[in-house]
Amino acid sequence: MNFAAARLVANAVLYEGYLLYPYRASAQKNRLRWQFGVVAPRASSDTVGSDPWATQTECLAEIGNDAVIHIKARFLQMRARTVEQAEGEDFRSVESLAVDESVLLPWEECIEREIEATIKISKFFDVEEIVPFEISGGEQKQPLYNCGGELAGRVVRQSWPISGKLVVAAEKIAGPVFSAKLRIRVENTTPPDERFTSREEALRHSLIGSHVLLGVEHGNFVSFLDPPDWAAPTIASCVNHHTWPVLVGKKPERHLMLSSPIILYDYPEIAPESPGDFFDATEIDELLTLRTMTLTDEEKREARGTDERAAAILNRVETLPDEIFGRLHGAVRESRGMTGVAEKTIFVGGVKISNGSKVRLHPGTRRADAQDIFLKDRIANVERILTDVENNRYLGVTITDDPAADLHQWYGRFLYFSPDEVEPVSDAEWALIQQEKK
């Protein structure tokens, strides 16, 4: 089962909020981290109560007799990093440690973890399959030497053990298509410990950014957001706790699903214009790139000492080619209808309109601004046919006699009008207009 395409989106979920701009340990917003997909020990969840101790995913799959489900439960394990300064043969914990041109700070890092299970669906109808897992903890010490070869200090990394289990079950669903309702629970079963008196302590034994990737062989998942009529009652009965299952991969394939702690749509994608991770909600690349550029040299030095991923962001921003930076300014995508096919044409007054069609503008008074009113009766060229989130269609146009029309076409910046604000211009009428201009 190839999860490569799904991992791109899953990794964005995994690290969502891991390290927020301005990417420095001293920044207030980075002192309250680990907001998404935290599955805490049950003892902590019952006492501290800030995070759940289990997640549950229920979804529907059309299956054959030999259907097999592949499960990947993925999460981050917290690892605390402290820095110590060398004092003779001893070491002393410090708030920061300068080694030559670098500075290192205490920080909470993470380790990627993945629990896998492959199960034949027909073998656990109405019987739970339990897959326990244990994640070990430990301590690592890394000596630090300056350019003269002298021992300057060390980095100490400490992680703590996590116990958990996957609980998988399936239920046959009667209907026109042989299908199964699947349930996957991820539970944190770390034993009770008296140290679980605060969220900070519980996070050491928590699953962070927890989500589940599912793959099915000899079958297909059913969309949770847009199910066929026969599946709608079963989808409505699914109970999902702290997760949101969506189809992932290449549309219209349906053999992969991501159950995420963040609400997504089917077939989510990473914007092709994005050159790398920023770990910020919705990845507003241009703004974050510009703001990162404004950091002072001292702030950049602190960010590099905070986290390797912060250093990678700074290095990428500082060497970003103009061509790549220009793409971050924005992109307009052709909208997709309910069938998932890019819309190329619409009908206005019974006339087919497509890219390149000519229309006469009649801005509506209810939504028009001053600029729109000045465009009344102007002829425009249709450049894009777009649909918003409420499935309302719009025409992206350029004015045919605008000297900057070529620039707008190249840059992808258009004026937008609804179909009831335009009048189709026939080829004959357009030819007559051109002839009159001559």
Q: Which domains does the chain have, with CATH numbers?
A: 4-327 (no CATH), 345-437 (2.30.30)
- CB count within 10 Å of CB 364 equals 11
Mean per-residue pLDDT of the chain: 86
Please, are residues 305 and 103 in contact by the beta-carbon 8 Å criterion? yes
pLDDT in tens, 259-274: 999 888 999 887 777 7
Percent over 70 (pLDDT), the chain: 92
Average pLDDT over residues 362-385: 81
Query: What is the pLDDT confidence band of residue 340, given thresholds at 50, 70 and 90?
Result: very low
At 342, is the pLDDT very low, low, confident or very high (cuts 50, 70, 90)? very low
Stretch 382-398: mean pLDDT: 83
Q: Model confidence over 47-92: pLDDT tens digits?
A: 777 789 999 999 999 998 889 999 999 999 999 999 999 998 899 9
pLDDT score of 54: 95
pLDDT tens digits for range 156-174: 999 999 999 999 999 998 8
CA atoms within 13 A on the CB side of 127: 8
Q: Bigger pLDDT: 408 or 152?
A: 152
pLDDT above 50 for 341: no
- Of 34 and 80, the structure prediction assigns the larger pLDDT to 80
pLDDT tier, 333 (very low <50, low <70, confident <90, very high otherwise): low
Residue 130: predicted pLDDT:
93
Q: Which residue has the higher pLDDT, 325 or 94?
A: 94
372-382: b (≥16 Cβ within 10 Å) or e: beebeebbbbb
Using the predicted structure, report yes or no on whether residue 215 has a pLDDT greater than 80.
yes
Q: Is the pLDDT of residue 420 over 50?
A: yes
What is the structure's pLDDT at 147? 93
User: Given a cut of 80, is residue 241 above it in pLDDT?
Assistant: yes
Question: What pLDDT band is residue 335 in, cutting at 50, 70 and 90?
Answer: very low
At 236 the pLDDT is 92
Q: Is the pLDDT of residue 275 over 80?
A: no
Higher pLDDT, 135 or 251: 135
Over range 18-29, report the average pLDDT: 83
pLDDT over threshold 80, residue 401 = yes
3-state secondary structure the chain: CCCHHHHHHHHHHHCCCCCCCCCCCCCHHHCCCCCCCCECCHHHHHHCCCCCCEEEEEEEEEEEEEEEEEEEEEEEEEEEEEEEEEECCEEEEECCEEECCEEECCEEEEEEEEEEEEEEHHHHECCCEEEEEEECCEEEEEEEECCCCCEEEEEEEEECCEEEEEEEEEEEECCCCCEEEEEEEEEECCCCCCCCCCHHHHHCCCEEEEEEEEEEEEEEECCCCCCCHHHHHHHHHCCCECCEEEECCCCCCCCEEEEECCCCCCCCCCCCCCCCCCCCCCCCHHHHHHHHHCCCHHHHHHHHHHCHHHHHHHHHHHCCCHHHHHHCCCCCCCCECCCCCECCEEEECCEEEECCCEEEECCCCCCCCHHHHHCCCCEEEEEEEEECCCCCEEEEEEECCCCCHHHHHHHCCCEEECHHHEEEECHHHHHHHHHHHC
